[in-house]
Chains A and B, each alone.
Chain A
């Protein structure tokens, strides 16, 4: 900050900050929401429209994300795991928002812990989802 002769003093702290769990979870909530509203919504509509159009259109959709055997290819894994992780992060962060809306969890320590807990929950739920899909169902 330059100490120029402005009439109103500038807040000196605006450029002094570092990442904390709270702000990371906050911007992640926005990023994951925006990602699902664009990439996720397009894929959902495409999937539904392809299924409604018939077997050929559905086959073209599946071919992008799966091998001929029906197993997911690398594109399928990137979008599948990416979108589930994105969803579970937004979901757990959204549940945290319900508590914040009710006026709870503003104590520094608890707020920080719940921000970090959303990441743990997102990763664990994603692992459980894909563990069941690949490991149990095969």
Chain B
């Protein structure tokens, strides 16, 4: 924090100055997760069947595809922040850095897969 020693400040040690932003985005996405996940679960309950045609018809509607993309963005951002704290708590030294890099790769790759799949269904699903 700001009360570190002079040499500590020179070396750039101490707070990374990103804690408040991390905390706030965690809460912001927690709120949007709550809304979007409840929408998702209610939508699943309201589907008449769970076969391929039903899912395609549902996700090809803009009012299903758009919240679904928002859900992926919100949930994945939220769990990236959460898993970062878990890794920082239990991993130290080299393995912490490696796992934090892998966490970023994992989250972004998974989100890209999910959003591409939703967009593909949204843009082509109606034709099936």
The CA-CA distance from A42 to B106 in the complex, in Å, is 10
Q: Is the CB of B121 within 8 A of A52?
A: yes
Q: What residue in chain B is nearest A29 (Cβ atoms)?
A: B82
Interface residue total, chain A, C-beta cutoff 8 A? 31
Total A-B residue pairs with C-beta atoms closer than 8 Å?
A: 71
SS class, residues of chain B in contact with chain A:
helix
Q: Is the CB of A51 within 8 A of B56?
A: yes
Q: Is the CB of B114 within 8 A of A133?
A: no
Q: Is the CB of A94 within 8 A of B114?
A: no
The CA-CA distance from A133 to B43 in the complex, in Å, is 12
Q: Is the CB of B51 within 8 A of A51?
A: no
Q: Is B34 an interface residue (CB 8 A)?
A: yes
Enumerate chain A residues within 8 angstroms of B33, measured Cβ to Cβ. Answer: 94
From A1-9, A31-39, A116-124, the one touching the partner chain is A31-39
Q: Is A49 an interface residue (CB 8 A)?
A: yes
B-side residues, CB < 8 A to A, are 27, 30, 33-34, 37, 41, 45, 49-52, 55-56, 59, 72, 75-76, 79, 82-83, 86, 110, 113-114, 116-118, 120-121
